[in-house]
Amino acid sequence: MRIALGLEYDGSGFCGWQSQAGGGAVQDALEAALAVVADAPVRTVCAGRTDAGVHALVQVVHFDTEAVRPDTAWVRGVNAHLPASVAVRWSQAVPDEFHARFSARGRRYRYLLLNRAERPGLMAHRVGWFHRPLDVDAMAAAAGLLLGDHDFSAFRSVECQAKSPVKTLRRADVTMHGDLLVFEFEASAFLHHMVRNLVGTLVYVGKGAHPPEWVGDILAGRDRARAAPTFEACGLYFAGVDYDLAWQLKVGAGDTALILP
């Protein structure tokens, strides 16, 4: 039997999603909790791996098991064995052909950036921070140049294992909510560190170091060394996954609502 789960987590206390030999990953915590409920080892596959310090509003995983349990067991039962910073939101049986990663048609990320002189206190580890005023209109104009099918090599980490740097960016919005900048990105898939590199480059535009057109030049040049440094992980959220409606997954309602700390 194949089961799909939707979960959310605060990534600040984890070394990322992917299981590590010494533990400490979200996957390690989830699989340990699932094993208690299933009374057998469980291996999970996620829709999109997250790095150390990165959070998830809705992460989708699947796993195979011979254990027959009600959906409530895979939610409340698993949550009872998870750290407080990780929670399963829903569970449902899916066809064996469903794959959390390969069945996904698109993924969404959100970055929250506190833009004020003082560093965050209550929002520490939940937002990025930039102390100087930023030109949001210039950043939004620059973000628009990133839309479409492009080679995003200029925003790809050296550790990236993707077969191709060509991705389709469908959304790149920058909006201001009080002193919090919200970046919304949606694409067919993302390269390693791509969103954090995009945010860092847009901040360079916002602080006046370069005009919006510079981002288009960076994109066309495909040279990572010309773009801005990778921005900090703590403001990044894996915000959702898109699947064909035929799978009838519960992802959707409320999953991409604006989440402000």
pLDDT digits (tens, 9 = 90+) for 107-125: 999 999 999 999 999 999 9
User: Considering only CA atoms, which of 5, 10, 74 is closest in space to residue 237?
Assistant: 10
Beta-carbon-side half-sphere exposure of residue 78 (alpha carbons within 13 Å): 27
Strands 236-243 and 55-64: parallel
pLDDT at 258 > cutoff 60: no
Mean pLDDT over 99-112 rounds to 96
Structure tokens at 97: 């052909």
Mean pLDDT over 15-21 rounds to 93
The whole-angstrom separation of Cα 88 and Cα 76 is 8
pLDDT for 106 equals: 94
pLDDT at 256 > cutoff 70: no
- Percent of the residues in the chain that have a pLDDT greater than 90, as a whole number: 90
Coil vs helix vs strand at 189: coil
pLDDT bucket at 207, cuts 50 / 70 / 90: very high
Residue range(s) of every CATH 3.30.70.580 domain in the chain = 2-103
Residue range(s) of every CATH 3.30.70.660 domain in the chain = 105-238
pLDDT for 40 equals: 97
The whole-angstrom separation of Cα 238 and Cα 211 is 29
The whole-angstrom separation of Cα 117 and Cα 95 is 51
pLDDT bucket at 255, cuts 50 / 70 / 90: very low
CATH classification code of 105-238? 3.30.70.660
pLDDT for 166 equals: 95
Mean of all residue pLDDT scores within the chain: 93
pLDDT at 39 > cutoff 70: yes
pLDDT for 252 equals: 54
Cα angle for residues 161, 164, 165 (degrees, 5° grid)? 90
pLDDT for 107 equals: 95
Beta-carbon-side half-sphere exposure of residue 191 (alpha carbons within 13 Å): 25
pLDDT digits (tens, 9 = 90+) for 211-241: 999 999 999 999 999 999 999 999 999 999 9
DSSP string, 77-98: IHHTTS-TTEEEEEEEEE-TT-
pLDDT digits (tens, 9 = 90+) for 171-201: 999 999 999 999 999 998 999 999 999 999 9
Q: What are the catalytic residues? A: 51
The answer to whether the beta carbons of residues 107 and 186 sit under 8 Å apart is yes
Q: Kindly report the three-state secondary structure assignment for every residue of 107-145.
A: EEEEEEEEECCCCCCCCCCCCEEECCCCCHHHHHHHHHC
The DSSP symbol for 235 reads: G
> Which residues in 16-34 are b (16+ Cβ under 10 Å) and which e?
bbebeeeeebbbbbbbbbb
Answer yes or no: CATH 3.30.70.580 is held by domain 2-103. Answer: yes
